[in-house]
Structure 1
Amino acid sequence: MTLLRYAWQSLGREWRSGELRVLAIALVIAVAAVTSVGFFTDRVQKAINLQAAELLAADLSISSSQPLDPQFAEEAQRQGLITARYVSFPSVLVSESDDALAELKAVSASWPLRGQARISAQELGGDHVADSGPPPGEAWVEARLLALLDVQLGDKIWVGDAPVRVTHVLTYEPDRGGDVFQLAPRLMFSLEDLPATELLGPGSRVSHRFLLAGDEAAIAAYRSWAEPRLVSGQRLEGVSDARPELRVAITRGEQFLGLAALMSVLLAGAAVAVAARHYSERQADTSAIMRCLGATQRFVLQVFILRVLMLALLASGVGLLLGFAAQNVLARLLAGWFTLSLPLPSLTPVFTGLAVGILTAVGFALPALLRLGQVPPLRVLRRDLGAPPPAIWLVLLLALGTLGGLLLWQSGDPRLAGWVLAGAAVMVAILWGVAWLMVRLLAPLRSHGGIALRFGLANLSRRGALSAVQLSAFGLGIMALLLLALVRVDLLANWEQSLPEDAPNHFMINVQPDQVGPLRDLFLARGLDAPVYYPMIRGRYTRINNDPVRPEQFSDPRAERLVNREFNLSVADRDLQADNRIVAGQWWTQESDQPGWSVEEGLADTLGIALGDVLEFSVAGERISAPVTSLRSVEWDSFNVNFFVLGSPGLLDEQPATFITSFHLDEASAPLLRDAIRQFPSITVLDVRALMQQVRDIMDRATLAVEYVFLFTLAAGLTVLFAAIQSTRQLRRRESAILRTLGAARLQVIKGLVTEFAVMGGLAGLLASLGATVVGMILAAQIFDLPYRPDPLLWVIGVGGGAAGIALAGWLGTRSALRQPPMSTLGQGQ
């Protein structure tokens, strides 16, 4: 208790004297930055997940070929979840004048649980939202079904034995994105009308869907309960099980937000490390006096550690309040940008903020504090006896261990955390090494130039180690600012441009070989570019390396589903599509006539397929086998036609095939679709604009969130610069006093200091520009899988802005020292 009381009392005295304020400010801003990022990203990610939940019209979905056991609904009710049901199946519809194949969807009154449907009372345009499905006796249909049945709104059609009246055109289903490749246009009606249709019987191709929505904890608990009770033919889906296009957008959005949080953690550690080093140097006299008064080395060390821990708790509390206030104000400012209101954050960022404050203080400040216990009492008489330098292995172990743990905790992505940690360690080492080398190279120049330049260069070279530390801190801070200001913009712009406005928004499938030519002519006749048609062959994956492939041998449910169904295979020519990239093996060349398969890398990982494996597919009763000659990465969010498995030229030429294509069509060209369907009734045109809008919404919201989240990270970067300048404030005050005592004019001293900071800022900007370029390229290639071309403006702003900014910041940070009379400074023994 005596130790705690003394540490608390001394903390108050130190605070009043200003010794701990730099460290406290660094901790407060660090925790506020990390916490605000945590609170805001927590809310934004929840909002993104809610938006993505529209893919299912729910938070969780269970699909089955048979009606679910009542226990699933009973458990959902017990856990307080809201539920809905729908049944979908293909059937032939009959009108007064025609009949057509359609995909029927009978929905319960509570559908949809997430999102809203959109319907229109006219065939084109003028749609509005609908919070529930059609009432009994009514039906909503897609516009192309009106053309196939030759009916208008208000007409009656027969769904099996039940007549229903077509009242609205269905323009958008919130859960359509999860099943865009339907074989026929949609008709939606009430689940209450389903028994009267008498369409369901033994052998019917029907899919039952049970939808659930609720809070995260209840959904997670229900998922854990339901998964072991699913039987063959049943599948549980959540937001994370989305289509590849949407899943890629969600993942990249979360990665960008995670990067914002990681940058805050990295800069927080740098700021605290610099501030703690300055604090330990200032406390060497205090430690020596305590040792002279009888305090043991252990007692001195415990006092300083407890003092910093208490400060960390107080600073963390203040940082939590500032972080929550900052994100709350930000959420209010951005309320108009989000169609969904941002959910309340969880308590996780609170614990994260406290942990960041304490672990950052301990991990980055402890190496410097451990020196204080070793200050010899003789320092009271001999000021040259300071604390011994901390062990390099201890500094590196604590810093890297703390930073690695915080990065992994913040990101939740070991790969992202690993790259950032490795990059940070390498960049800090390079920054310090190059900074030390630059300081040494400047030494011969200290005798050249004017008085201000010589004075500034002399200061840099005379304090070689300290200048290298400052230069490294400045370089790290400027590098972070460059990443935030320029590289971030380039990466986000490249991400948004990955889905251009003219990206394909329609797919056409079930095109017969003799229809390809006339359909191309139809496009050309309308002045449009004819799309490229790709052959699509249905085949079942049966063997790998002559071993049979069975669904039960896979523990992954997705792998079991893939093996249990037919694949859409295709044949690729010698040219690889622009949105595909070979990651292993070789693409087919003109000289190679050997048959082979090219497999998408994600599918290969799921099914355990490796380069060189011989795969066999059963196509129309014929076995076709070939080795895997390449693995590909596919940009699924490009909305181009892509396949999981491609065959080499000639491998599947003799097999029956239909054709598929994708194309962009604006509203003015929409009549082309009706003409194509009337001329070729067997084709199916799929409108994926709703899914594309889902992807664009996620991109826009994630980009906007990142833009503002990085404002908080900016504060952490500025803290590094502030702490680096303050670390030599007392030293510069004493040097200025000595120079002025020796006759130097105040203006000469100011010019010398500004020159020193300008040179240091220019050198730091040069290092930072190199670091930001390298880090940007690594992030683009290894994390976000995006193209990145360094902007030459980055170097201009880095070097010029670094010199001007650090010179200004240095002058502002030290001008108070120049205002004090020299005798006052020298009389304090500072």
Structure 2
Amino acid sequence: MTHWLALSLKGLRRDLRAGDVRALFVALALAVAATTMIGFFLDRLDRGLTRQAGQLTGGDIKLEQGEPFDDALRASLREAGLTLSDQVDMVSMVSRSDAFQLASLKVVDAAYPLYGEVRVDRGDGVEALARGPEPGGVWIAPRLAQLLDVTLGETVRVGASELAVTGLIEREPDQSAGFSAFSPRLMMRRTDLEATGLVRPGSRIEYELLAKGPPGAVAAVSATLERLAAQGVRVVDVRDDRPQLGSALERADKYLSLAGLAAVLLAGVAVAMATRRYVDRHLDTAALLRCFGASQRKLATLFAWQLLWLALAASVAGALLGMAGQAALLALLSRFLPLELPPPGVLPLLLGVLTALAVLVGFAGPTLLRLKRVSALKVLRRELDPLPAAAWLVVAVAGLVFGALLWLYSGDPALAATLLVGGLVALALLWGLGWLLLGLMLRAVKAFGGGERQGGWVRAVRLGGSQLARRRRASLGQLLAFAVTFAAMAIITLVRGDLLTTWQTQLPADTPNFFAINIQPAEREGFVELLDAVADTRTALYPMVRGRITAIDGRSPEAAVPEDSRGDNALRRELNLTWQTEVPEGNRVVAGEWFAADAGQAGGDGPVPISLESGLAARLGVGLGDTLSFTIGSERVTGRITSLRDLDWDSFRPNFYVIFPPGVLERYGHSYLTAFHLDAAAHGDVLARLVRAYPGVSLLNVDAILGRVRELLDQVTRAVELVLAFVLLAGVSVLYAALTASHAQRAHESGLLRVFGAGGRLISRVQGVEFALLGLTSGLMAALLTELAAFGLYHWLALPPRLHGLLWLVLPLGGALLIGAIGHGLSRGVRRQAPVTSLGLLGEG
């Protein structure tokens, strides 16, 4: 065994001078780099979340609802051995002189924080404090200080109160990563909240009760937590339900993993191409070893060890590159991660090595079997090559291995199966299209420059196109690989720019850019009168009551809805309920009939008619005739669904999942909201007048939020583009592998051209034209693939589909330039080779 290991290492050192082995090394290293880069990052994120779960939520248990928690609950939790902390979260305007800014208010008590420390600058540098601000003072984010032009010691107005700025927050231990983080933070004490006048009937306020304690104490209150959850209180227990950064980040995790697998797929194609050349070169060696008594088993062992050493070396190089890549990925996303991540673990490295081995087995295994089946007679009869593996066998084995990798990295067998089957169907369609394009190219180049006198470039186009089209089987694999690579880059470009631009341009010029919420009934007429005098346009004023779904058809929501909808956000929080006489603007009844204007005044104890948004109805599995019970305060109201509505969520107008008829909800505490449009130049003055007159009304600046969304989207897109850089490098490795796989054939063609009088300039042009035509055809196929993918995205996002004319110009021309330049440069050695040497390679394959 030791002898064969030494022989495999000796053979590998000799083979490292060969282009096909270098191509194998590069492809495997890129596959490992792509997977380890993403694996290292996601592993650090996962372990960071687990390690700092208490800090992310603020406690071992977190309870949330729209009204204060009662003292009996606090007493029972304290008796179980838990330490408690009360918080209130809300959004409100903060002002100083004529400067106004929407802020995310975090109201804390003396026990805050239960975990960690607040890093705050109180004038003597940043310090870590295990408490919140003192009564009468506030701590604010540096961004809020900059927007309001306020410094330490000065005062800001919060509602009806003037509070001193006593600190600038650098980091909170339980910093939110949700939508509220788009507004700059203001932290204040609970004792100062009442004086602000912000807590009024119908106000959008989230009361939070946080608890900290040992695992036994948390387990002791499990029955209480279950009872609270059944009553509509949102319960977050980090020991059973590990907190995430949000569903958007979870989808980004899967997307990054699948994007990395695109690089693995292309690397696998490069491995398959390089393996063909590797096997062709070693057939004679294998035949000689058979003559010296080597069995098929020993041959398989020898070459398996040789490729195993290569895979391990490529894994080390790929892991180092992946470490550098994950550091860059972390730098791009660090602004939006609310926690410090631990050092990378070893598991992603093991997965990277597994990926390299899987790619070798799946994409190279069937071809390597030719070395095992070689006959000793090949030493005397060169035509006795073992039959190559059938194309269907190569695709089948590679597809199974890649499907297993899809399953491993996505964790979703249904998604893996869908992508695998869809990919095989797309591969078959692209294969047929590529075959057709190469046939058309052969006809076109034959007809090109058909006159007697042909210039150098005309002959180059005819010869280069003919060689590409005649070598159709090898060219098809390259076409498919580059088409997928270009399409992936183009789709990311569309997602980053075109889809967002299309969404924005379809909005009217007077689309509301501000929301006004928490308008009290007594302020309604005065606020509308002032707003109508300064706003360009505004929507109707909508009354709003907050209620939680606590029963569906008389059963608990968890028991009534489909299993995959039990965690739906509509069941975990209070919904905004309203009443209207007519169907609101932007709503369309798609099932049932709108209720009569006096339907809520009929009296009786039976359900009242309600209208439900169709998307929510589909998620909850309810329809016309079903009943929904809402808990509002301490009372319950039941409605029967009599109509379903489609909403225009992109209109930036107030929308409601549930609408009641008048006469049902008016007796509950409620407020009003509206949306309006202000000219950008008039923002400051108008907002100043509104806030001075109505300090309790919260004004939500949609333009500012969209700016933060664009910033976040841009950073995440750059991270994805970093992953796709590996996809592009893997595509280049496909070209390199294809060049080495066809080295003997291209060298032989070059030698024949020289024998028949072709000069170096003509051969250079022929090879350049061949690669440029390969890139041009790949770009055309990529443009078609991108248009089909964009059509699906547009349909999914409910955007009007359209063609991208520039895409059909940029991808083919860009592909021709990119592949033409790289291919022409890599084939320089073939052009410099002597004709005698080139013609002698004919028998190598």
Report the secondary structure of 1:32's partner residue: helix
Tell me the CA shift for residue 319 of structure 1. 0.8
Report the secondary structure of 1:670's partner residue: helix
Query: Does residue 744 in structure 1 map to residue 761 in structure 2?
Result: no
1:133-178 deviation digits (Å, cap 9, x = unpaired):
55555455999xxxxxxxx9999x9xxxxxx995449999976898
Structure 1 residues 530 and 250, CA gap change in structure 2 (3 angstroms)? same
The answer to whether the 8 Å contact 1:86/1:191 transfers is no
Structure 1 residues 278 and 238, CA gap change in structure 2 (3 angstroms)? farther
Written as runs of structure 1 = structure 2, the 5 A alignment for 1:367-516 is 367-412=366-411, 417=416, 420-445=419-444, 447-448=446-447, 449=449, 450-484=458-492, 488-490=496-498, 506-509=515-518, 511-512=520-521, 516=524
Q: TM-score, normalized by length of structure 1?
A: 0.73
The match for 1:273 is 272
Instruction: Tell me which of 641, 646, 664 is aligned to 1:626.
Output: 641
Tell me the CA shift for residue 465 of structure 1. 1.7
In structure 1, distance between residues paired with 2:761 and 2:222: 76
In structure 1, distance between residues paired with 2:217 and 2:431: 52
1:781-800 deviation digits (Å, cap 9, x = unpaired):
55x88887553222111111
Tell me the CA shift for residue 773 of structure 1. 2.5
Query: Does residue 350 in structure 1 map to residue 367 in structure 2?
Result: no
Instruction: Report the number of matched residues.
Output: 753
Query: Does residue 568 in structure 1 map to residue 577 in structure 2?
Result: yes
1:309-364 deviation digits (Å, cap 9, x = unpaired):
33212211111012213443665698899897665334342233222212112121
In structure 2, distance between residues paired with 1:18 and 1:520: 76
Tell me the CA shift for residue 28 of structure 1. 1.2
The match for 1:95 is none
In structure 2, distance between residues paired with 1:335 and 1:273: 38
Instruction: Tell me which of 614, 623, 626 is aligned to 2:626.
Output: 614
Tell me the CA shift for residue 822 of structure 1. 1.1
Letter in 1 for 2:86: Y
The match for 2:605 is none
In structure 2, distance between residues paired with 1:193 and 1:751: 78
The match for 1:263 is 262
Q: Which runs of 5+ in 1 are unaligned?
A: 75-82, 91-102, 122-127, 144-151, 158-163, 195-204
The answer to whether the 8 Å contact 2:576/2:656 transfers is no
The answer to whether the 8 Å contact 2:542/2:672 transfers is yes
Tell me the CA shift for residue 22 of structure 1. 1.3
The answer to whether the 8 Å contact 2:751/2:839 transfers is yes
Q: TM-score, normalized by length of structure 2?
A: 0.72
The answer to whether the 8 Å contact 1:135/1:190 transfers is no
Report the secondary structure of 2:385's partner residue: coil
1:438-495 deviation digits (Å, cap 9, x = unpaired):
2233344454334323322331333222222232233233334434556555457779
1:242-267 deviation digits (Å, cap 9, x = unpaired):
999x9465456545544542432332
Written as runs of structure 1 = structure 2, the 5 A alignment for 1:491-570 is 506-509=515-518, 511-512=520-521, 516-536=524-544, 541=549, 544=552, 547-549=554-556, 562=571, 568-569=577-578
Letter in 1 for 2:745: L
Query: Does residue 111 in structure 1 map to residue 116 in structure 2?
Result: no
Tell me the CA shift for residue 11 of structure 1. 2.6
Structure 1 residues 739 and 318, CA gap change in structure 2 (3 angstroms)? same
Written as runs of structure 1 = structure 2, the 5 A alignment for 1:554-703 is 562=571, 568-569=577-578, 571=580, 577=586, 586=590, 597-599=611-613, 601=615, 604-605=618-619, 608-612=620-624, 614-617=626-629, 623-627=638-642, 629=644, 641-646=654-659, 651=661, 656=666, 659-662=672-675, 666-677=683-694, 684-685=697-698, 698-703=712-717
In structure 2, distance between residues paired with 1:591 and 1:136: 53
Report the identity percentage. 30
Structure 1 residues 255 and 761, CA gap change in structure 2 (3 angstroms)? same
Report the secondary structure of 2:113's partner residue: coil
The answer to whether the 8 Å contact 2:89/2:107 transfers is yes
The match for 2:455 is none
In structure 2, distance between residues paired with 1:498 and 1:31: 43
1:552-609 deviation digits (Å, cap 9, x = unpaired):
77898757994997762555965774xx9x9xx936799999977334646753xx42
CA RMSD in angstroms comes to: 5.5
Written as runs of structure 1 = structure 2, the 5 A alignment for 1:12-161 is 12-40=13-41, 56=57, 61-62=62-63, 65=70, 66-67=73-74, 69=77, 85-86=85-86, 105-108=107-110, 110-111=112-113, 134=132, 138=136, 140=138
Structure 1 residues 312 and 799, CA gap change in structure 2 (3 angstroms)? same
The answer to whether the 8 Å contact 2:27/2:268 transfers is no
Structure 1 residues 305 and 611, CA gap change in structure 2 (3 angstroms)? farther
Letter in 1 for 2:309: M
The match for 1:9 is 10
The answer to whether the 8 Å contact 2:546/2:575 transfers is yes
The answer to whether the 8 Å contact 1:505/1:688 transfers is yes
Letter in 1 for 2:210: F
The answer to whether the 8 Å contact 1:599/1:645 transfers is yes
Letter in 1 for 2:401: T
Q: Which runs of 5+ in 2 are unaligned?
A: 91-104, 145-152, 195-204, 450-457, 600-608
In structure 2, distance between residues paired with 1:89 and 1:469: 57
The match for 1:319 is 318
1:644-703 deviation digits (Å, cap 9, x = unpaired):
3346xxx5576537533345774443323434427xxxx753658898887566435423
The answer to whether the 8 Å contact 1:505/1:662 transfers is yes
